[in-house]
Structure 1
Amino acid sequence: MKKFIASLLVAASACLTALTPAHAAGGASVPLDKFPTEKLHDTAALQRGAQLFVNYCLNCHAAAFMRFNRLKDIGLTEQQIKDNLLFTTDKVGDLMNVSLNARQAKDWLGATPPDLTVIARSRASHAGTGADYLYTYLRTYYRDETKATGWNNLAFPSVGMPHVLWELQGERRAIFEEVQDPHDPKKVTHAFKSFEQIKPGKMSAQEFDSAVGDLVAYLQWMGEPNQGLRVKLGVWVLLFLAVFTVIAWRLNAAFWKDVK
């Protein structure tokens, strides 16, 4: 029994370790930035995010559980989808697949690019929501010539994916500082301090953050397109149950008032 409990504790510890915030190159934890949740209710932001997703993500990453025509739910017409978001051979009713062969992708990139349909939901942890993680991840790329792709990431150290949005954000260098362990003076780690802009991008820092917010909002919406309707229905269901509880309570009192 003791061995069984010990094994459960070890497993729980491993799970917690896996769910801890990502670590930078020097080992310091990276807090997740808060995703601007108001963009989830902004139709224009969701539409801009869909356009960014198709232009920058859908080349390698599929969204195999989402159809193009579902974008009507965020205010796009069928003609707008055809004109702006479809490739030549795609149809409005098609799934968001990619032509990249999975086996070839693994040989070329070292791993098969994951499907992004529910990526925002899958990245949720005790450190923050999946949207928080993606919002931080897409904004913390920096140049690192020691990596095969030439890029590294604070939220996902040694990430295999290059910075696909670098033209928008530009190129940056990460500055780390030495931090001495107060409990062990001989132990020194390198903590992230700031970014230094090497080459400017097409967007300012504020514009890029807003664009990433749009993209993450779309990814969050794509993981559960009915989320808004579900929340609205949930509110009405709770109100109904509250009213019905009062009615049931008074009926119960009326039925049993003459019983001693």
Structure 2
Amino acid sequence: MIAVTLAALLAGSDVFSATSIELESAENDVGDVSSLQRGARNFMNYCSGCHSAKYVRFNSMADDLQLSEDQLIENLMFNAERTFETIQANMAADDAARWFGQTPPDMSLMARARTTDYIFNFLKGFYLDPDSPTGVDNRVLPGTGMPHVLWELQGFQTGVFTEDEHGTSVFGHFEPLTSGSMSLGEFDSFVRDTVNFLEYMSEPVASTRRAMGVWVLIFLAFFWIIASLLKKEIWKDVT
């Protein structure tokens, strides 16, 4: 079922298509609850206007992120009335398709489909392009229809390209053009927290599963010791 869902998500989404470029590691830690809380705030403030997360319920998210119901309602529930509802985009699907050329994809499983490294680089990879309908293009996904929603935080940058021996345009580096409200380090942390939350959404039980795995290993080690001692006791008189 999950494989079918991922296939359908990928087939309907050009926003996060595959890339062959070298990606900077996101270095996120899904076990960092504070980072997940900040990531949830980022997602609801900057992403949920267009993107849904239809497999994530607010109340389950609050439990996993150690948020009270009051914190949840006051800071994260902008377009939902009940805590058991799932995260829905504020924008109507028809309007999004008309404005952007397609409906923005649901983000519930995107981190599993594309990896956090891909999304981390995508969100940092916008540069000015006067020929684009949105005024920007993206290093990771050329021709993307997604606008640079984080421009106030990052600022604007230009992409410097060179031509290889075959005449193909090759990305070189970014050059800052205008400053945003965040420094480079602050913006990296912002994006890292955001993709960390996306990874959590793609597998909410991951932290629990990992913690349980540690206890299982401890139990197996203890059982091995007991079994070894028992074996020695049983066979000590056997020659």
TM-score by length of 1: 0.76
Using the TM superposition, give the Cα deviation of residue 216 of structure 1 relative to its aligned residue in structure 2, in angstroms.
Answer: 0.8
Q: In 2, Cα distance between the equivalents of 1:91 and 1:117? A: 19
Q: What is the total number of aligned residue pairs between the two structures?
A: 222
Give the letter for the 2:37 counterpart.
Answer: Q
The residue aligned with 2:49 is 59
- Is residue 32 of structure 2 the alignment partner of residue 47 of structure 1? no
Distance in structure 1 (CA, Å) of the matches to 2:143 and 2:202: 26
1:35 aligns with 2:30: no
CA contact (8 A) 2:28 2:195 kept: no
Normalized per residue, which structure has more strand? 1
Measure, in 2, the Cα distance between the counterparts of 1:72 and 1:206: 30
1:195 aligns with 2:174: yes
Q: Does residue 72 of structure 2 align to residue 81 of structure 1?
A: yes
What corresponds to 2:218 in structure 1?
A: 239
Superposition RMSD on alpha carbons, in Å?
Answer: 2.4
TM-score by length of 2: 0.82
Structure 2: how far apart are the matches of 1:105 and 1:255? 72
- Alpha-carbon distance in structure 1 between the residues aligned to 2:110 and 2:236: 56
Deviation for aligned residue 1:50: 0.7
- Report the Cα offset of residue 156 of structure 1: 1.2
Where in structure 2 are the equivalents of 1:1-260 lying within 5 Å? 22=19, 29-38=20-29, 40-69=30-59, 70-87=61-78, 90-123=81-114, 130-180=115-165, 187-245=166-224
Name whichever of 160-169 and 67-76 sits farther off: 67-76
2:10 corresponds in structure 1 to: none
Distance 1:115 1:88 in 2: 16
Alpha carbons 1:21, 1:31 under 8 Å: kept: no
Distance 1:252 1:138, change over 3 A: same
Structure 1 gaps, min length 5: 1-19, 23-28, 124-129, 181-186
Encode CA deviations 1:112-149: one digit per residue, 9 max, x unaligned. 111111111111xxxxxx11111111111111111221
Q: CA deviation at 1:98?
A: 2.3
How many Å apart are 1:62 and its aligned residue? Answer: 0.4
**Among the aligned pairs, what percent are the same residue?**
42
**Which amino acid letter does the alignment assign opposite residue 238 of structure 1?**
L
Higher radius of gyration, 1 or 2: 1
